[in-house]
Amino acid sequence: MTKDLTKGSPMGLILSFGVPVLMGCLFQQLYNVVDTAIVGKTLGGAALAAVGSTGSINFLVVGFCIGICTGFAIPAAQQFGAGDEEELRRYVAGGAELSVLFGAVLTASTVALCGCILTAMSTPADIYQRSYSYIVTIFAGLPAYMLYNFCAGILRALGDSRTPVLWLIGASLVNIVLDVVFILAFRMDVFGAALATVLAQALAGAGCLVRMLRGFPILKLKREDWRFDRRRMGELCLMGLPMGLQYSITAIGSVMIQTAVNGLGTMYVTAVTAATKVSIFLCCPFDAMGSTMATYGGQNVGAGKWERLNQGMRACVTLGAAYSVLALALLYFFAGPLSMLFLDGASAHLAPLARQYLMTSAVFFFPLALVNIVRFMIQGMGFSPLATCAGVLEMAARGGLAFLVPAFGFSAACFASPAAWILADAFLIPAYFWCCRRLAGPEGAKRRLAATAAK
């Protein structure tokens, strides 16, 4: 089930590895999409707005979990590329310990501060209680997110991009059934939707953990693998924390935009919620490209094959450009009907607002593709702090547009994400070439010698 991305055609490898990752992204988003669709269609626009108003803070916290777990897997990908199984196991053990620690701290702090956060975001009073019920349940289930994303990250680091998606498919089906049972049969309102998501995520995480423990002899950890090593833990944090902060810093900008939209009223919150759910689903290929390039970059740097980095970059950028055009065409014709998947009849008049939000973003999908491809490649190459800088720029762009929303209205909110993507690209593209030059210099020579010695 492992896949070596250091040999063969980059385009073929990216497609064969990336398609299962894409399926995983789609089914990961299916959790929230199904929740939102069922909530919007059965409980009405107010319930939909309640779930949607928590979207940015949800992304901030859950995104941090995803980011640090992805970062913890990068040293494993590099050691797999280098052929050093002993170091690989020690990095896996260290990453597991850090995941448990961060999961516990995040769960306790977010549950305790949940009410304060919603108040600070100016959540409308008519949806506040429902918003709290939904997001506090998600926060209480953060250990399930940590379990899945860490195990899935390690499996992908070894080239196995299929197992995570297979478990997500099963978990998504369970999520749909639980949504229907909790919301329609037990009448648990938005709490039922959140509980269904957490339980399904826990199932996917448990399945990936079992696969790690039983399916990969290379991952059979010994007692000495768990021995604390300050250098190794520091390296894991150096990879994981910048990636987690990158997600969270980016999300802070989204929180600022969400707060500004909340100030426009429930009608706009509902429209943005519907549009965001459609957009997130259509943007899954960009997320898959990013995750693929993180593993591709990590393995090839670990193997000392710098020349394959640009080859992989060109192949993935070509895929990103082609999909950007396809997604724009799809939204041009179907933005309205797709938005209605999340709006009930009483909220149908909000479809034009949702279409405006979607089309504004779609015109700039190629800059978004570059953000994901280049940023994750940089992280896989071992330069995670640079990706965090791009996140700061995204936050600044979204924050600047958020301040314009009271003066320019809904249109300013529509342009917030495109502005963030363009500003991030202006930094990331030169940063990538700088990283390539670093690898071509003395630092790269040392890494190449280490990889050769390990083999």
The pLDDT value recorded for residue 32 is 66
Cα Rg of the chain, angstroms: 21
Q: CA 410, CA 267: separation in Å to the nearest integer?
A: 11
CA distances from 256 to 115, 141, 253, 260, 362 (A): 17, 24, 5, 6, 21
Mean pLDDT by 10 residues, the chain (455 residues): 81 90 78 72 81 81 90 91 90 96 96 93 88 95 96 92 89 89 91 92 95 89 91 91 80 78 83 84 90 90 88 95 96 89 76 90 95 92 84 87 87 90 95 90 60 51
Residues present in the chain in total: 455
Question: pTM of the entire structure?
Answer: 0.78
The pLDDT value recorded for residue 209 is 95
What 3 state SS string does 102-160 have? HHHHHHHHHHHHHHHHHHHCCCCHHHHHHHHHHHHHHHHCHHHHHHHHHHHHHHHHCCC
Q: What is the pLDDT of residues 333-354, one digit of tens each?
A: 998 888 887 776 777 788 888 8
Q: Considering the chain, what percentage of its residues have pLDDT values greater than 90?
A: 44
The pLDDT value recorded for residue 344 is 67
The pLDDT value recorded for residue 328 is 95
Q: At what angle do helices 307-339 and 284-302 cross, to 10 degrees?
A: 170
Positive/negative CA dihedral, 421, 372, 247, 207: positive
- Residue 444 in tokens: 């790269």
* Sole residue written with tokens 């909220």: 347
CA of residue 68 relative to chain centroid, distance? 11
Q: Is 325 helix (H, G, I), strand (E, B) or coil?
A: helix
